[in-house]
Structure 1
Amino acid sequence: MADIEVTSTCEEGYTTESVINGEWELVVDALSNDGPSPNEVLAADYASCYIPALRVAADQHGYDDIGAVEVEVEADLDEDDDLEAIAFHVEVEESLGDDEQEIVELGEDICHVHSALRDELHADIAIESGV
């Protein structure tokens, strides 16, 4: 049995309904009419993976509670609608002091989505802590 099982169905058009591990439902629409597009989902998924990875990285550097974390994602598409660039602007409620850049990089190493993407598409991450 696989660790992750997804059943994706498209009855017509460009909208796909997926059931993840028999429990979670996700609607993705290539045209962004009935749900987010695959690229929009990927951008959100990347940020959703990076936030807990950043928390783990901060914890490993002795920051027990970094408070609220918000990531604003900007993604650029080429003329074929392929993702060309992704940038994160990360705001962390508590200050990460002199460890900030090391925590960012460790968060990248921990984030499974970051590891899965080709190097050219890894997010360019800017962070502000203590905001």
Structure 2
Amino acid sequence: ACVAVGPIADDLVAKIVERASSIKTGDGAKDSDMGPLITKVHRDKVASYIDAGEFEGAKVVLDGRNVAVEGAEDGFWLGPTLLDNVTPEMSVYTDEIFGPVLSVVRVETYDEAMALINSNPYGNGTAIFTND
């Protein structure tokens, strides 16, 4: 998950969409950036998290569920996906998805961001970017 603080959130989401939209999904031997998921079952599981996030109120800003790769339509494709307005109660925040899905949680203050990060039972990784 990505935690976006206050007024930078809109700009951050826009920049992520800009970059992620340029990622080409396809056969790794043929000029692409990202290949398929390992099995249909896993592809469907990851897609079900996107469905659940949307149902729970997250905004699907970039949707990779309908990626089609010419000549390999039966592949287990799932393109980059960005979910915004995620809350800590949603499964897309609480579960490790193991797919190309980024969830953005918005908070108002740095202290709120730190409390959110510190209350998470997993230590998967956190980065803070500041001007000072």
Quick check: which has more Rg, 1 or 2?
1
RCO greater where, 1 or 2, for CA within 8 Å and sep 6 or more? 2
Q: Which TM-score bucket, shorter chain as reference? A: under 0.3
Counting strand residues as a fraction of each chain, which structure ranks higher?
Answer: 1
Output the TM-score relative to the length of structure 1. 0.26
- Tell me the TM-score normalised to structure 2 length: 0.26
